[in-house]
C-alpha cells in the first residue's frame, strides 16, 4: 500500500510507507510507553519525517499492517485503541 501525501500547497508530495509507520514507533515508544494512539503516530510522522497525513490514513495502514502481523492493537474503553509494533523498520543498506 502506498499513500500519496498532500503538501501544504495542495500538491502531492512523497508517499507514506510501511517503513515510515514502523519508524514512528521507534521514535515514540519505550519501556514506559510501549503503545501509541493513531494520533501519536500521525504526529510523529509529521514531526520526524515531515509527512502530513490524516489519522484515518494512518488507521488504514495500521489495519493492514495488523493483518500482516507487523503491529498489534489493544482496545481501551469504548473507542480508544493503542498500537504496538511487532517488527522493527528495515535498516538502510548503508547501515
pLDDT in tens, 43-86: 999 999 999 999 999 999 999 999 999 999 999 988 899 999 99
Encode 37-73: b = buried (16+ Cβ within 10 Å), e = exposed.
Answer: ebebbbbbbeeebebebeeebbbebbeebeeeebbee
For the chain, give the percent of residues with pLDDT over 90. 61
Amino acid at each position: 500500500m502506498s499513500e500519496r501525501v498532500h503538501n501544504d500547497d495542495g500538491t502531492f508530495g512523497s508517499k507514506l510507507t510501511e517503513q515510515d509507520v514502523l519508524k514512528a514507533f521507534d521514535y515514540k515508544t519505550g519501556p514506559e510507553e510501549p503503545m501509541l494512539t493513531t494520533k501519536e503516530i500521525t504526529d510523529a510522522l509529521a514531526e520526524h519525517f515531515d509527512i502530513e497525513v490524516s489519522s484515518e490514513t494512518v488507521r488504514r495502514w495500521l489495519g493492514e499492517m495488523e493483518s500482516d502481523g507487523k503491529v498489534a492493537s489493544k482496545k481501551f474503553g469504548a473507542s480508544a485503541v493503542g498500537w504496538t509494533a511487532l517488527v522493527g523498520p528495515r535498516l538502510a543498506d548503508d547501515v
